[in-house]
């Protein structure tokens, strides 16, 4: 395998709001693994974002970065040591139509990890994630009733069958390891060991009780929206590097200070049951792929 194709050796391809941040964190602690320095490089897609400044459509929130080139992408693994397995986690890949082909063109032997949860709960959690960013969103119930563009996007991702079948067109089933978040949370050590075996890594002790990606909401939504917008200004192009770096760190500190703990309201059982019917074929498909029922999804 060439140097080019060894980066990355594996990818966590999604799905959003299914525990991929925790998995990235655990794998990043493995001595034989080098994860990309930022969790979601979004390199293997050219799809444009639908919400970089305002709500414009039913696509991913942020744009892919394929246009930045492989040299930029490989620079995200600057801490790589000889013999390490390289990996990244971009949840955008699961539902972007061009990602399977771009990944396959780069490395036909790559290993892919997919983390899923109850499709309705995933969809609902995705809504709250974007709601907290400061966009003027209607209520979830209104989004469903109006078939809002963002709701259509959440729904598209939770239709697991169509997204996974797209990957099976390019990769063998044994190249894709599927985790169920609810099962992972119930027995994290067991499922981490399965991931290590899939990646041909030795077991590694980590603190599985670490709280990763805790639920927070902005103290000031207008400031949160402004800080989100600032991230798209290309500071490196207009300012000296050391100043740009300091400003980016300052923005990060402001983002961290402008949050407070948050727990969103549970979805009404009637609404949950109504939506769940739409995803039954997806649940049945994943169960068929795994060869067993997923008790947490029923």
pLDDT beneath 50: ranges in the chain:
1-3
At residue 35, the pLDDT reads: 97
Map out the domains of the chain with their CATH numbers: 10-118+159-209+282-297 (3.40.50.300)
At residue 120, the pLDDT reads: 98
At residue 57, the pLDDT reads: 87
Q: For residue 120, give the nearest of 17, 262, 261, 14 by alpha carbon.
A: 17
Give the global pTM: 0.86
Q: What is the dihedral of CA 207, 202, 89, 260, to 10 degrees?
A: 0
What is the SS3 assignment for 52?
Answer: coil
Q: Using an 8 Å Cβ cutoff, are 61 and 112 in contact?
A: no
At residue 116, the pLDDT reads: 98
DSSP 85: E
- Which contacts qualify for 207-212: CB closer than 8 Å, 24 or more apart? 208/26, 210/22, 210/25, 212/21, 212/22, 212/25
At residue 2, the pLDDT reads: 47
Angle, in degrees to the nearest 10, between helices 188-198 and 20-28? 70
DSSP 218: E
**Where would I find the H helices in the chain?**
20-28, 70-75, 99-106, 119-131, 140-146, 149-158, 160-168, 181-186, 188-198, 221-230, 235-238, 241-257, 269-276, 280-290
């Amino acid at each position: 395998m060439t140097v080019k194709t060894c980066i990355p050796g594996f990818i966590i391809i999604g799905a959003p709001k299914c525990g991929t941040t925790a998995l990235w964190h655990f794998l990043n602690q493995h001595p034989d693994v080098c994860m990309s320095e930022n969790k979601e490089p979004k390199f293997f897609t050219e799809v444009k974002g639908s919400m970089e400044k305002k709500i414009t459509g039913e696509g991913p929130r942020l744009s892919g970065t394929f246009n930045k080139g492989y040299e930029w992408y490989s620079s995200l693994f600057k801490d790589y040591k000889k013999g390490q397995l390289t990996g990244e986690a971009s949840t955008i890949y699961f539902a972007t139509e061009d990602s399977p082909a771009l990944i396959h063109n780069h490395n036909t032997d790559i290993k892919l990890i997919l983390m899923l949860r109850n499709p309705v709960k995933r969809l609902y959690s995705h809504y709250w994630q974007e709601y907290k960013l400061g966009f003027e969103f209607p209520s979830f119930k209104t989004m469903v009733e109006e078939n809002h563009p963002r709701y259509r996007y959440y729904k598209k991702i939770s239709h697991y069958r169509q997204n996974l079948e797209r990957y099976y067109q390019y990769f063998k089933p044994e190249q894709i390891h599927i985790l169920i978040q609810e099962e992972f949370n119930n027995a994290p050590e067991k499922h981490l060991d399965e991931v290590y075996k899939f990646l041909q890594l030795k077991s590694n002790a980590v603190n599985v009780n670490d709280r990763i990606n805790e639920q927070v909401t902005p103290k000031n939504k207008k400031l949160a929206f402004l800080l989100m917008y600032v991230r798209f200004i290309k500071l490196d192009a207009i300012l000296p590097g050391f100043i740009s770096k300091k400003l980016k760190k300052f923005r990060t500190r402001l983002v961290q200070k402008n949050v407070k703990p948050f727990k969103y309201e549970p979805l009404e059982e009637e609404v949950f049951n109504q939506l769940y019917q739409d995803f039954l074929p997806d649940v049945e498909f994943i169960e068929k792929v795994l060869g067993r029922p997923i008790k947490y999804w029923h």
